[in-house]
Amino acid sequence: MSPTEFEPLASAREEVGRHDGPADTPQTRAPSFRLAFADDNFLLRDDLRPVRLQLELLKTELLLQEQGVRSTIAVFGSARIPEPESAKRRLDAAEAAAHAAPGNPEAARALARTRRMLANSRYYDEARRLANLVSSVCQINAECDFVVLTGGGPGIMEAANRGAADVGAKSVGLNIVLPHEQAPNPYVTPELCFRFHYFAIRKIHFLQRAKALVFFPGGFGTLDEMFEAATLMQTGKIERIPFILFGREFWDRAVDLQMMVDEGMVAEKDLEIFKFVETAEEAWQHIAGFWGIAPIPAR
């Protein structure tokens, strides 16, 4: 057979899609007869966990490459921080409930928390504005640098994806399967909206292309990501890049870093990893200065 007469092997997609398969017999109905890569029961076995880990790593990597995402700015923060308008409505409702139940300690605590949430809602606007500034350096129709990347959910994540969408830029969302399902926020670029089962693989993609790590106030998840990234940077597993903490008052209350130094648990120079900022413009100036690019004036 000449080279021009050669017929390539059928693709896996073609094989899975064939409807003229073997006759219906006990042998062909047996689970062992199914194509391995088209057999969900087989792929979900505990023994196949290494394969599933690889698939989660590879799928996201290939699609990021196809979309031209070369580098990212990873933004972390609470899913519970609403935009200011929503926070004000919640405060109005909490005040009404407290007024209707004077002396009720639970109503009083709820009112105090809601007041703090309104104060913290400024971070929603800061995250949105920072993403707006960062996304302005992204080459939208070619390979993209400084692409905003978040956990894909509500709160600070929504604000950052929204800031990118405001200027027509791509942004990435790395959603995770949770007991109470986290729906992707509507501002993530659909082609860059991913869903993970394994936290470990999701964390790799948070750091893989990051040119800066930006942490807004948050809960356990935010602290987990912050300490893991700080450990990797401290131990030289990843290079030093801008590591920004928004809101010095919050972080000083949440984590006593100086106490760790005073107790001899970390070195004084380890605190140089962190840069505290209060505004999007301050954060952007730090990122731009680190990478030697001209900051885009705030709009």
pLDDT tens digits for 149-168? Answer: 999 999 999 999 999 999 99
**Which amino acid type is present at position 236?**
G
- With a pLDDT cut of 70, the percent of the chain lying above it is 92
Of the candidate ranges 151-165, 226-240, 258-272, 283-297, the one whose mean pLDDT is the lowest: 283-297
Report residue 195: phi and psi, to 5°. Answer: -140, 130
Residue 33: how many CA atoms within 13 Å on its side-chain side?
A: 10
pLDDT at residue 133, rounded to an integer: 94
Rounded average pLDDT over 103-119:
88
Provide the pLDDT for residue 14.
76
pLDDT for residue 4: 55
Average pLDDT across the chain, whole number: 90
**Averaged pLDDT, 91-118:** 86
Q: Which residues of 23-46 are buried (b: 16+ CB within 10 A; e: fewer)?
A: eeeeeeeeeeeeeeeeeeebeeee
- Residue 207: other Cβ atoms inside 10 A: 19
**Phi, psi values for residue 8, rounded to 5°:** -65, 160
- Per DSSP, helices labelled H in 238-291 are 248-254, 257-262, 280-291
Assign 5 a pLDDT band (cuts: 50, 70, 90). Answer: low
The whole-angstrom separation of Cα 116 and Cα 110 is 10
**Cβ(138)–Cβ(145) below 8 Å:** yes
Residue 19 has pLDDT above 80, yes or no: no
Is the separation of the CB atoms in 212 and 181 below 8 Å? no
Q: What angle do CA 238, 244, 249 make, to 5 degrees?
A: 140
Per-residue pLDDT, 3? 54
Window from 157-166, 245-254, 286-295 with minimum mean pLDDT: 286-295
- In this prediction, residue 17 has a pLDDT band, given cuts at 50, 70 and 90, of low
pLDDT for the residue 91:
85
DSSP 183-198: PPPTTS-GGGEEEES-
- Residue 259 pairs in a beta bridge with none
